[in-house]
Structure 1
Amino acid sequence: MPSGLVALLDDIAGITKLAAASLDDVGAAASKAGSKAVGVVVDDTAVTPRYVMGLSPQRELPIIGKIALGSIRNKLLFLLPAGLLLSAFAPWAITPILMAGGAFLCFEGAEKVIEAVSGKVHEEVADAAATPEELEASKVSGAIRTDLILSGEIMAIALADVADRPILTQAVVLILVAIAITAGVYGVVALIVKMDDIGLNLAKRRSAAVQAIGRGLVKGMPKVMAVLSVVGTAAMIWVGGGILVHGLAQLGVAGPEHVIHHAAESASHAVPAAHGAVEWIVTALGSGILGLIVGGVIALIVHQVHKMRGKGAH
């Protein structure tokens, strides 16, 4: 009897270790998959604040909450099942879909670069007759539609990184990535859009040092938003280009990946003190150049099609 109890306890300990190892494995996979989606996350963080611009400050956090809820719904109710079905029945389609999303990121980034260079910015025109409630609903709806594309890229990147794992592991990793990234992105967005209010509040305090910090926040936020916009654009182009380079290699066209890898290795050997940083920078730069070229070509085609449609309408 005691020996049986010992054996049972030994089995329980073994199962516990196995479960703990599985949880560690899932956590590591989720962390790795989430880190690969960082460029899309930066863009998502940079894009979202514009949806609360021009609206009542009292409605900023509720609106961000609605968008965050829509984002988690996009990821868990639509993208997660679709991703798992693809992984189970058409794993070959993951790379082409990921590349299509990468091309879209390149296009979006190239559009912003073209607008910055040309000075022509496509602004959304709001309906002057819309009530505040209708305007808010329109903003939230538009943000959730944009989020669906960005969330699709995040989930596809995460899925591609765990495509060789069991389906249950894939599901858990995608759920963890979805929750962590949504909480992180919209938590940062909430902090960004309320930073002005925080600064104003601090500027009213008695302490001169606290007042200075408050005034610094108010004055600095426009610059932070400008930098965030540039970083978001660069991240889109770099990540989109990287997805295309990796996808082409998986489809048998490894030339671009080899060229970028060789250039990165050569540059890193030239600066051994910063080997890793130099290799990463050159790889990102190479991916970004390819992404900008691809995005620029797509942007030119899209603009030409719009022109032709305009002429046809006339």
Structure 2
Amino acid sequence: MLAPALERTILQQKINSLKKEKNAVILAHYYQEPAIQEVADFIGDSLELSKKAAESTADIIVFAGVHFMAETAKILNPSKKVILPDMQAGCSLAESCPPEAFKKLKAQYPDHVVVTYINCSAEIKAMSDLVCTSSNAEKIINSIPAEKQIIFAPDKNLGKYLIQKTGRQMLLWDGSCIVHEAFSLDKLLQLFREHPKARIIAHPESEPQVLKVANYIGSTSGMLDHVKNSDHNIFIVATEAGILHQMQKEVPWKTLIPAPAKEDNTCACSECAFMKLNTLQKLYTCLEKEAPEISFSEGIMEQALVPIQRMLQLS
């Protein structure tokens, strides 16, 4: 029986060989396990990976992330094969906004501009005027004429943050991410008392009470850049714990502490169970078999492409 580290290395070598053989590219989100990040061609947040997907010249795009991300890659690359290591890798936020229910809400406010966070299904994007990510959401909202009213979906926490930042009143869909709502404010404050020199950084999907105590609020890539460029050396990080791998590689001399979750768990932090469904073995198998593959109707794809292209142009 091989040692786990050796087994991982051999599997990574096989994946790298298959990539060359099949002209494939691996896009991985920061929240993926370290072993997957190590074989990825590009690591990023939703906006960065959307741009890489749009620019790709590969025949096959392997998306090591969750379902809505792979869907976005397919929308941007309709002629390419887009595969996902585990088709069950969904998203609690995307699932909080069922297309039929959202269609009814939209019908009640026909004059509103519909802005949807990228963490939603292709069907929701197809009903949108604009798509945004946490990196560019403020810019997207500010691009809408002041006289226009806005529906923002599906993340209510990001929506509340944007209302505060832009001063625009928006009709918010009542959705949220279970990972970013899992942080315990009491435990976070206790942790800060133990590390009084630490700066608290948080993703805007977090609940308002967490954002209120944060020293910096930003997207996943924004948090990474902030830690790299800051003069501070200790950070409490309130987002999915997978970011800590890449962050620590960038600043090995700094102390990074995951913000504590409400529930006790193995890492005492907040992890996305959906993201962690993807494993190195599943990544190898999906590349070898070129499955499971992302597919949906051309009509949905064409409609969903319009607001995504508008976002990329504005970004």
TM-score of Structure 1 vs Structure 2, range by shorter chain: under 0.3
User: TM-score, normalized by length of structure 2?
Assistant: 0.22
Q: Under a length normalisation based on structure 1, what TM-score does the superposition of the two structures give?
A: 0.22
Larger radius of gyration: 1
Greater helix fraction, Structure 1 or Structure 2: 1
Higher RCO structure (Cα 8 Å, ≥6 apart): 1
